[in-house]
Structure 1
Amino acid sequence: MFYKTKNKRFSNADKSSNLHSLIINELEEEIRSRLKQYTELTFRSLSFSKRKAVFIFVKNVVKSEAIAEFIIAPLQKVKNMEMNFEKLAETVSIADVSYCNQLEAICEHLIKGYGYLYIEEDPCGVLINVSYTVNRTLAASEKESHIYGPQVSFTESLSTNMNLVHYLIDDPDLKIIPLQIGKRVKKEVKIIYIEGIADDENVQTFKQRIKDIVVDDVQDSSRLAQMLEDNSFSAFPQYLLSELPNRLRIALLKGRIGVLVDQSPNVIIGPVTFFSFFESTGDLYMRWNIGTFSRMLRFLAILFSILLTPAYVAVITFHYEVIPSALLKSLGESRSNVPFPPLFEALLLEFLIELLREAGIRLPTKVGQTIGIVGGIVIGQAAVDAGFTSNILIIITALSALASYTTPSYMMGSSLRLLRFPIILFAGMWGGIGIMFGFCLIIIHLLHTTSLGRPYLIPFYPFRFKDFKYAFYTLPNQFYNNRPITNHPEDPSRFNSQKQNKKKDVDE
């Protein structure tokens, strides 16, 4: 195939070259050969003052009404006029219009729902966005529920998500870096940060890591977050995933960076710390003492989730002397009919809890709730009556599972549930020493973990006492005059604390 031009000819080896003065028939033939699998590929012939033109689009992915109303109708009014690609762009009544003369780019945009308008022998044509996308309407978040604050959540539409970001963050320093990833299925990615607050090194690190990703397709932001992690073998998530625009706003104003991915309802936030996964946006809208109580309750729930069942196994197996005498009798009676050792008994119940949780997620919502409640009661009672387990262990296992669900981040809650199993094994083999051994391994691993190159346990290690109010507890607003130094903000000050503390009534 050769492309005829006024001055030279392009061979097959030059298909990615600029196309100049292309003949309509050859353009149609080349696009058909490249997109032969798209049976809905359509060519609409036009003419302007005896010059041939063509409008190319794929039926299934475009808005037919928009083509008829905003493209064909305006062009028919000027069909007898002398036209070129610049006048074409001015004639159509659609805002998203661009020039293009590269076959590769033309085919890529046609698949995405663009139309290509070309006049024979013009140096280039016009790409017009007439894509038809099915978008989910804005609704409250189901995964991150809270009482106070904005309830709206992100959707799968990147344009809708960007509108939400601009609506919530009306700051002229809000910067957006557009990128594209995926060799075969290209996805649009937006890096979002506030210039003057976010550390430039963090921004450049994010940008470089995304550019270095070479894959066929990135299915979702959760997959992208795993590709960006410092240590992909760690059980702990190193980036925060959220579907709340308000959570992104809070993070950006603290000096963090967000990444939005097309066709994904979750934003990636980084760099984060271990304690970021236990912060809830609802804490900021409650009074500081209630917010502190809620956060402390979550940290206590972590210890319950990880250590309660292993402690039972260790005590029953090795450390009977720590059991109060009043409880020892009832505990012995409860375990008198159980033929299994405590280790196997605990692992069996933990497995049943995880089985019920997984079944509840996969089934429809109403059926899943019924299975979780009824299944837990029926199986638990039947297991006790059959002598497979004791009443006390059922209570302990239920408390551990309940404590793991208090974590605002689902990914962190899943990681904590996973860690219970190896610690139960250590407790069954070495008792209390095994529990401490497993717990120390977790702490050592967390000390070596980083998020975007930043320490994962900061402000606990390295020690930053000034940032404790952002991680472990909340205080009245006047104590938050500076941004957390953990994120290395370029502008550390939020407001002047002296002016803030001067409260004057109207009559003063």
Structure 2
Amino acid sequence: MFFKKTLSTNKQEKEKSKDADNIIPTNRERMSLEFRRRLQNSADIVETEVPGTGITLFYFHTLIDMNLLHKDIIEQIKNQSFHSIENIMGQLSVGIMDKTNQMDKVIQSAIGGHVIIHLEGADKVIYARIASNTGRALSNAINESQVIGPQIAFNESLSTNLSLIRKYIADPNLSIEDIRVGKRTTTAVSLIHIHGIANQQMVDILRDRIKKINMDGLIDSSVLVQLIEDNSLSIFPQMVLTERPDRICSWLLMGKLVVMVDGSPQAIACPQSFLEYFQSMEDKNVNWQVATFLRLLRIFALFLSVYFTAIYVASLTFHYEVIPQTLLIPLSESRARVPFPPIMEALIMEFFIELLREAAARLPTKVGQSMGIVGGIVIGTAAVDAGFTSNILIIIVALGALASFTTPNYSMGNIVRVLRFPIIVLAGFWGFYGIMFGFCFILIHLLRQSSLGTPFLTPFYPPRLADWKNSIIRLPLTFTAKRPNQTRPEDVDKYNPSVAKEKE
């Protein structure tokens, strides 16, 4: 008992000592020493004394707007005498400011772009936000372009991105929760949902996943999505990254959850299904017949991109009987000079196509476009003339590469590119049996995946007939009056179709 009391007493004394060290110094010189010590005496720390006031300003000149500093703070308080912190706050016209007596809060505020206002003898300080607005202006979407509909995209400023969402959804139930992630970066992460529509259990699960992240720093939302998705070992993403505010707002109205990271131009949306990666925001802006055709075209392009080259390899290696007789002669003439077996020929050409695509993506825009077109033509023609490959395989590989570009989502498009290679290898060793084995393996893997606890292949597994109206096909908007069951929304109805008919 004696030792327990002694240990408890020592612990309490340490906590008291720690709390005492965290109190703001009332003396200016001690405040300056403590402020610089905690910030490693960084070169961009500025300490400015306002003449005749007893007020000292501490800030990072690399983080604040100097014009606002002089106009909203220094000009407002110079040549005046103040007796308390409250008097100073009443004199300033800064929008965001507060007071504290904790040194930890002062340090975090200074790093966040605040000016620290210290009054000699006062036991508290003011921190006022006048951060500089650095970053690019709003522009068109780069990776998710569309012809019909809004063209604006997110940028790297979290406050700007949130204002875009507020502009679209002027609903008091729109909830934005601020979470800090990263021990060293303390990056601002916003969890967004519409209260009364989004499922509260999903909100709690996603919030817990974000808060449990323990890492030094978070720079981009693409890193965060790998840490909070259901199965980070799967090649398929279970949460969507998008740069379009109109798409995010549409998903919020469906009951989905959105996560945004300060410094990242892409937002995370969940839960998602596999088919939603092949749906474009433009599908809602065109007639339902056109939208259905485009979705069916993308699904066909998915199978074409993954399996077309593999079917060519399997047919030439094991299954000549499936090739039409009229095609056998030109096919054999085309392969007469090729020294490689079909599997090696296909893998080499697929590798060349991916090499050209990656090189074109990494080069400057104008050079990359020219290099991709000219390089593809020159290499393809030279490879056929040299007997390195057949001209039929050139057509097949080109069609497969073209089909992969129809996927509206960049992440899923990359996965389609990767899946071609193991399917070609299976086709080269076991023919159509290998292709079917690969197809079944991918299907079983997709059946086992989930997005925030919801099945990844919804609405087909488990079958939800009500959600088929907006899956591979897209029926008229009058048939989709209810929100999808995938998000388990608290408010199921988007609108009442009977009332709409009465008004009509």
What TM-score do you get using the length of structure 1 for normalisation? Answer: 0.94
1:411 aligned residue: 411
**What is the distance in 2 between the residues matched to 1:204 and 1:411?**
27
Q: 1:20 to 1:317 in 2, by over 3 A?
A: closer
In the alignment, structure 1 residue 236 sits paired with structure 2 residue 240: no
- In structure 2, the partner of 1:4 is none
Q: Is the 8 A contact 2:24 2:125 kept in 1?
A: no
Distance change >3 Å, CA 446–CA 423, structure 1 → 2? same
- Work out the CA distance in 1 between the residues paired with 2:395 and 2:127: 64
Aligned-pair CA distance for 1:123: 2.2
1:8-32 Cα deviation digits (max 9, x unpaired):
x999952685525621111101111
- Distance between the aligned counterparts of 2:276 and 2:40, measured in 1? 50
Give ranges in structure 2 of 5+ residues lacking alignment.
Answer: 1-12
- Whether 2:197 is the aligned partner of 1:197: answer yes
TM-aligned CA deviation for residue 46 of structure 1: 3.2
Amino acid at match of 1:54: T
Aligned residue for 1:398, secondary structure, equals helix
One-letter amino acid matched to 2:76? P
Partner Cα distance (2:199, 2:402) in 1: 38
Displacement of 1:100 after TM fit? 2.1
**C-alpha contact 1:260 1:267 (8 A) present in aligned 2:** yes
2:40 aligned residue: 36
Between 298-307 and 92-101, the greater mean CA deviation after superposition: 92-101
- Percent pairwise identity: 43
Residue 424 and residue 37 in structure 1: after superposition, are their counterparts in 2 closer, same or farther (change >3 A)? Answer: farther
Check whether the contact 1:48–1:83 (CA below 8 A) recurs between aligned residues. no
Partner in structure 2 of residue 137 of structure 1: 137
Equivalent position amino acid for 2:206 in 1: F
Match among 74, 77, 80 for residue 76 of structure 2: 74
Secondary structure at the aligned position of 1:276 is classed as helix
For the Cα contact (< 8 Å) 1:187–1:217, is it kept in 2?
Answer: yes
* CA drift at 1:217: 0.8
Structure 2 match to 1:399: 399
2:70 is aligned with what amino acid?
Answer: A
Matched, 1:63 2:45: no
Deviates more, 1:343-352 or 1:490-499: 490-499
Q: Deviations over 1:413-463 (max 9, x none)?
A: 101111111111100000000000000000000000111111100101001
Q: Counterparts of 2:294 and 2:230 in 1: how far apart (Å)?
A: 30
Q: Which moved more, 1:244-253 or 1:103-112?
A: 103-112
Residue 184 of structure 1 corresponds to 184
CA contact (8 A) 1:173 1:195 kept: yes
The answer to whether the aligner puts 1:22 opposite 2:26 as a matched pair is yes
Contact 1:16–1:102, Cα closer than 8 Å, also in 2 = no
Q: How does 1:74-113 map to 2 (within 5 A)?
A: 74-77=76-79, 79-80=80-81, 82-113=82-113
Give the corresponding residue for 1:118. 118
Q: Take 2:379 and 2:78, find their aligned partners in 1: how far apart are those partners? A: 72
C-alpha separation in 2, matches of 1:268 and 1:17: 40
Counting only pairs closer than 5 Å after superposition, residues 186-225 of structure 1 correspond to structure 2 as 186-225=186-225
The 8 Å contact of residues 20 and 121 in structure 1, kept in 2 or not, is answered as no
Q: Within 5 Å, give how 1:3-18 maps onto structure 2.
A: 14=18, 18=22
Q: Which residue of 2 aligns with 1:152?
A: 152
Give the superposition deviation at 1:377.
Answer: 0.5
Contact 2:469 2:475 in 1 (8 A): yes
Question: Residue 500 of structure 2 aligns with which residue?
Answer: 500
Task: Report matched runs for 1:168-179 at 5 Å.
Answer: 168-179=168-179
Map of 2:5 onto structure 1 = none
Q: Partner amino acid for 1:491? A: D
Structure 1 equivalent of residue 258 of structure 2: 258
Note the aligned Cα RMSD (angstroms): 1.7
Aligned-partner Cα distance in 2 for 1:131–1:497: 48
| Superposed displacement of residue 118, structure 1 | 1.1
Give per-residue Cα distances to partners, 1:381-404, cap 9 Å, x unaligned. Answer: 111111111101111111111111
Alignment of 1:278-289 (within 5 A): 278-289=278-289
The aligned residue for residue 7 of structure 2 is none
* Total equivalences in the alignment: 492
TM, length-normalised to structure 2 = 0.95
> CA 1:107/1:21 → structure 2, altered by over 3 Å: closer, same or farther?
closer
TM superposition shift of 1:488: 0.3
1:325 correspondence with 2:325:
yes
One-letter amino acid matched to 1:211: K
* Matched residue, 2:356: 356
The 1-side partners of 2:192 and 2:317 are apart by 53
